[in-house]
Amino acid sequence: MSENDRRQIVVTRTFPVPRAEVFRAWTVPSELEWFLNPEQPRPDQQIEVDLRVGGAWTLPMVIDAETSYTTGGIYLEIVPDERLVFAWGAEEGWPKLDRSDLRAGPVATIVFEDVDATSSRATMTLALPDAMPDDEVEQWLAKGIGNGWRMTVERLTLPA
């Protein structure tokens, strides 16, 4: 395993729909409900998306009756139906984002590709920055972000 492999979590999924529909599932508030934990009550806070570079998407995460937080990201790059890049987190949530240094924490890149005329593949890479000290990388990994992202992305289902 290379040093870079330790700093990345990669999840690839194939869907029985065109990539535009998968892109929409990541960028339209009413479509982003798949991201929420289905075992917990629906939060009162709404999912919000400001789909522009520098814009934020935010959604409420409920862990249990005592634990909830806002997460999401700030868009760094948007190529409709092809690619999304965002700093993962929220300014008033978790992980905590600082607009003055959006690449100091985890950055998610999602690439949308055609498989054939009726199906597509999405590859999501969550990368911890090269400048992050090894002990901090280990702390992030110990939090279970890999399994958390894999379980979250597995919730995205798009019927043909």
pLDDT tens sequence across 16-62: 999 999 999 999 999 998 888 777 667 678 899 999 999 999 998 87
Give pTM, 2 decimals: 0.91
pLDDT of residue 10: 95
Q: What values do phi and psi take at 23, rounded to 5?
A: -60, -45
Q: Which helix (H) or strand (E) holds 78?
A: strand 67-79
C-alpha pair distances (Å), 137 with each of 43, 83, 144? 30, 25, 11
Residue 140 has pLDDT above 70, yes or no: yes
**8-state DSSP, 94:** S
pLDDT of residue 4: 56
What amino acid occupies position 11? V
The whole-angstrom separation of Cα 38 and Cα 43 is 11
Mean confidence (pLDDT) of the chain: 90
pLDDT of residue 112: 98
Structural class in CATH, domain 3-154: alpha beta
